[in-house]
Chains A and B, each alone.
Chain A
Amino acid sequence: MSNVGGPHRLVGVLALQGAFVAHERALAIAGANTRQVRQPADLEGLDGLVMPGGESTTMSRLLTTSGLYDEIKALLSDGLPVFGTCAGMILLASEVLDGRPDQRSFGAIDVSVRRNGYGRQVDSFEADIDVVDFDRTFHAVFIRAPKVVRVGPNVEVLAELDGVPVVARQGHVMVASFHPELTGDARLHARFLQEV
């Protein structure tokens, strides 16, 4: 079993908007218990947090109005393990290009990302990628995906597509440009649970 660190841990899934139910399914396959997070009280007792795909501008707004932003910021500073995919990666990045001026992100991982960097929906695509330490390729679905345009010196790149990082990690923070929650392959979720 690859997920020795994490079964039966309680992982929150940010459920303000987006593909949070799909993440709950993937986390369940990887052996974790899950809880939807919409308000600060939902953060109580979590071992980890997932930020799903969806619209980052919508989530950014709802993070503020729900009072979750400051609470999550504090938990991330305390080392809460977090996994962000697509919009979730945008929320965790230290720099967001082509975002809205009022868009907030946690700056939890030292990467710069360009929103919709791979283009609009007609340019969205799927492709097989190699991930460090995985024995076979991972099928990745990119939907209006953000593109990593810079990684800091302390960021470990776990996968690239045509020379561009698509999975990265810095300490307890892991991000992916694509949607591992959509394909039924829970290996990246299991990898995240090792940190939890």
Chain B
Amino acid sequence: MTSSTSSPRATGTYPVKRGLAEMLKGGVIMDVVTAEQAKVAEDSGACAVMALERVPADIRRDGGVARMSDPEMIEAIKAAVTIPVMAKARIGHFVEAQILEALGVDYVDESEVLTPADETHHIDKYKFTVPFVCGATNLGEALRRISEGACLIRSKGEAGTGNIVEAVRHLRNIIGDIRKVGQADSAELFQWAKVLQAPLPLVQEIAETGWLPVPLFCAGGIATPADAALAMQLGAEAVFVGSGIFKSDDPAPRAKAIVEATTHFRDAHILAKVSRGLGAPMTGIGMDEINQRYAERGW
């Protein structure tokens, strides 16, 4: 008595794009620059990898223009692992995004870590079958990205610093304003839309549901298991770890520990256990020591 269905299949729809972000919740997405690193990430329990040519710490050190990675390298990483593979395109560089889609990556990160290609416009993400994640420093920026078709938002933090302070600032900005919008009456929501420079229907949706219409992850500065758990306790639903793993002394144990900390983020005993003996984290830099804030890219 089986029901067999032959139904039209719709790809690239909002539920399908947003659905993969739902599946990444509670997980760690790790930056990798080689197939070997991608394997270490998967072995350590990463729920996805971000393929890029240089980790943000190296982009920061080397300077110059940072672009989409070589397709050959992305293909090699795709072949090395079974988990989802993301890759970065420059802000506004819709052709890099088209190439990444053609390569079959699972998510495109329209990322401020790369050098922007357009200082006015972000990519029209509705034109793509592949879903997009975008960074945000505050609620208005998050809603503008969602209105362009982003299906996942990450707080930007300050990539390549190993310093969690900006990620905390951005998470608190976004989540604090979500709470305030939730308290507003219907007349005040018009003013919120104006202040946030965001579409009114999205502001009204937040007032009704108490959350963004898409998941909110944290990125930019996570270097330790405690950093990951801090982001999760503040309300992030998953974490991206960039330079923090493969710029540390001993990446594999640190990667595993950050995965444990992201799952057991409220259990201080487990956090204490997994934080032991990991070797030196990436050195990290203070915000007054950097001359380029990536978080300021994007509009």
Contact = CB atoms under 8 A, between A and B. Distances in A.
Given A98-B82, A120-B104, A120-B106, A58 B12 contact: no
B296 to A, nearest CB: 30
Question: Interface size class for chain A?
Answer: 35 or more
Nearest to A131: B3
B101 A122 contact: yes
Nearest to A102: B43
B15 A182 contact: yes
Interface residues of B, number: 46
Nearest to B6: A162
Interface stretch (B161-169, B218-226, B258-266): B258-266
A156 B44 CA distance: 36
Interface string B19-40: 1101111110000000000000
Contacts of A29: none
B129 interface: yes
B131 interface: yes
B16 interface: yes
Nearest to A178: B19
B189 interface: no
A157 B264 CA distance: 36
Nearest to B129: A122
Contacts of B228: none
B45 A19 contact: no
Contacts, number: 161
Contacts of B47: 17-18, 54-55, 58
Interface string A99-110: 110000000000
Contact of B83 (A38, A55, A129, A143): A55
A61 interface: yes
B10 A62 contact: no
A89 interface: no
A183 to B, nearest CB: 7
B22 A125 contact: no
Contacts of A163: 4
Interface string B92-112: 000000000100111100000
Question: Mostly helix, strand, loop or mixed at chain B's interface?
Answer: loop
B264 A38 contact: yes
Contacts of B260: 62, 65
Interface string A113-141: 00110001111111111111010010001
A49 interface: no
Given A126-B9, A129-B3, A54 B25 contact: yes
A86 B262 CA distance: 21
A182 B47 CA distance: 19
Contact of A19 (B3, B12, B16, B23): B23
A122 B3 contact: no
B153 interface: no
Contacts of A130: 3-5
A54 B82 contact: no
B48 interface: yes
A27 to B, nearest CB: 16
A121 B5 contact: no
A15 interface: yes
A46 interface: no
Across the A-B interface, the 4 shortest Cβ-Cβ residue pairs: A130-B3, A121-B106, A125-B9, A55-B47
